[in-house]
Structure 1
Amino acid sequence: MKPSASALFMRVVAILFAAYALLWATAPFTAINLPARLILDVSDWPLDRLSQPLDRNTMWIVSIAAGLLGAIAVLFWRVVAPAIEAGNKAIMRSTLYAILVWYVIDGIGSVASGVVSNLVFNTVYLVLVIAPLILTKYGREGSV
């Protein structure tokens, strides 16, 4: 992939993450938290708890996660995508390491808590993030 295409791909991923964060951020607002309940229920397949209200701890932890995911979306857009365009291998490598750390910790926690289906969804997100990092092809000057 050309650097410009990879950077665009990363910006699309950033938009997806930001949208997901906004939907997840509805968790503490009982009147409008259907999107958050749907995300949680789909992540813990099968759909069987959509009509159940979220408890206080779930609303709290999901709000924290939504904020972190929103921040990651901004980093992808404002730091990582420009780094891809510029051929900044240090930022690209650090992003790869960071997403792998997230994947391992989240995956182990998901499996240990019996929510293996979340690991499947996380694998999709992992591929979306690492694709523009590892598939970017530079000319001689910025070769990886």
Structure 2
Amino acid sequence: MTHTTATRALLIANGSGIVFGAIMVLSVLLGSPAPMNFALDLIYLPLDGAQHLSDGPTSLLTAVSGGIMLGFCVMGWLVTHHIYRRDPSLGGRIIGVSFFTWYVSDSAGSIAAGAWFNVPFNSLFLALFLVPLAMNRSTRQQTATTKA
């Protein structure tokens, strides 16, 4: 994978996180919880309509965590665009460590909350970031080896 392709993939991955975070916040702000109701029901299998976004603490935590996700992915977008693009080693470390930290803490919390099915979703989201980083790194190392 070329550096340009890896950068584009990371921007797309961050964009998807921005969209999902915005959906979380907007579901509370607009009082239209259908997308979050489906996501909660899916995470707490089976799909039976038993889980739903409720008023009060659940809505608050949805808005807060959606806002955190939105901000985190905006930061990831900016790191990708301004740092990773010019310095893939530094940018890759920042992105990789940050998303791995999110993955471990979010997945552990999901399991503790009985939402084990969130771990595969987290794994897919993490792969959106780590695959381009890993593929670009191996390509850069091969290019450096052949030039030496």
TM-score tier after normalising by the smaller chain length: 0.7 to 0.9
C-alpha distance in 2, partners of 1:12/1:125? 11
SS of the aligned residue for 2:54 comes to coil
1:110 is matched with 110
Write the distance in 2 (CA, Å) between the matches of 1:78 and 1:100: 18
Q: Is the 8 A contact 1:21 1:69 kept in 2?
A: yes
Q: Structure 1-normalised TM-score?
A: 0.85
Task: Give the letter aligned to residue 107 of structure 2.
Answer: G
Correspondence 1:22-37 to 2 at 5 A: 22-29=22-29, 31-37=31-37
Supply the AA of the counterpart residue of 1:106. D
Query: Could you say which residue in structure 2 is the equivalent of 1:55?
Result: 55
Is contact 2:53–2:59 with CA below 8 Å preserved after alignment? no
Provide the rounded CA distance (Å) in 2 between the counterparts of 1:102 and 1:112: 15
- Going from structure 1 to structure 2, the CA distance change for 1:27 and 1:6 (only over 3 Å counts) comes to same
* Partner secondary structure for residue 85 of structure 2: helix
Q: CA deviation at 1:126?
A: 0.8
Shift of the alpha carbon at 1:132?
A: 1.6
Segments of 5+ residues of structure 2 without an aligned counterpart are: none
Q: Deviations over 1:52-83 (max 9, x none)?
A: 45131111011111111111221222212443
Query: Could you tell me which residue of structure 2 aligns to residue 97 of structure 1?
Result: 97
* Runs ≥4 residues deviating over 6 A: none
SS in 2 for 1:22: helix
Give the TM-score normalised by the residue count of structure 2.
0.83
Alignment of 1:66-85 (within 5 A): 66-85=66-85
TM-aligned CA deviation for residue 123 of structure 1:
0.6
Q: Distance in 2 between matches of 1:50 and 1:111?
A: 18
Aligned to 1:11: 11
User: Is the alpha carbon distance of 1:18 and 1:30 closer, same or farther for their aligned partners in structure 2, counting shifts above 3 Å?
Assistant: closer
Percent identity, please.
Answer: 21
